[in-house]
Amino acid sequence: MRGEGQVVVIEYGDYECPYCAQADLMVTGFGLKRVFRHFPVVSKHPRARVLAYAAEAAALQGAFWEMHDSLFGDQGHLDVPHLWERAERLGLDMDRFEADRRSDAVEQRVAADFRTGIRAGVATTPTLFVDGDRFGGIPGPELLERLQRDSAR
């Protein structure tokens, strides 16, 4: 969780999804308190799960949001060597990063996020819950207006 204020944004997405990056940038721009949950849909985005594991492996070294921003900030470089470069740039312990991103604990963490999304009726990425209200699919003016309104609260 990061950001400030009373309103919580819960964001379901995957790092290979361009509209997720767009929605993420909108949320970041307003500085709202927010949670990111992994919703990798592999048949659509083959790298999605691997990328989610990388973010969670970084989280184990206290660098979740840094990796998150790095992945959404450049979706053109998502292969394994690019993940190493990113992890090195963030100053992570590389042996630990490599072991963690393949670990059962990280896999289960991502699967648990996915299950909460299914339970909440998430059926497309990105899906955002702004103070409990759902905004699914391509981020549009309705979402923008809502974020604007809530960031002023």
Under rule CB under 8 A, residue 107 binds other proteins: no
What H or E segment, with its residue span, contains residue 13?
strand 4-13
Query: What is the spatial distance between Cα 120 and Cα 108, in angstroms, rounded to a whole number?
Result: 18
3-state secondary structure of 9: strand
Beta strand 133-136 with 127-130 is: antiparallel
C-beta closer to other proteins: residue 47 or 86: 47
Residue 123 makes contact with other proteins by CB under 8 A: yes
Question: How many residues sit in the footprint of other proteins (CB under 8 A)?
Answer: 15
Smallest distance, Å, CB 121 to other proteins?
3
Residue from 75, 103, 124, 151 binding other proteins (CB under 8 A)? 124
Residue nearer to other proteins on the CB measure, 119 or 153: 119
Binding mask 16-45 for other proteins (x = CB under 8 A): -------------------------xxxx-
Cα separation of 106 and 57, whole Å?
7
Among positions 90, 137, 144, 151, the unique one binding other proteins when judged by CB under 8 A: 137
Q: Closest distance between other proteins and the C-beta of residue 49, in Å?
A: 10
Rg of the chain (C-alpha set): 15
> Is residue 118 near other proteins by the rule CB under 8 A?
yes
Binding flag, residue 112, other proteins (CB under 8 A): no
- 39 vs 23: CA distance, rounded Å: 14
Give whichever of 90 and 144 is closer to other proteins, judged by the CB atom.
Answer: 144
Q: Is 47 left (phi over 0), alpha (psi -120 to 50) or beta?
A: alpha
Identify each DSSP E strand in 44-130 by its residue range. 127-130
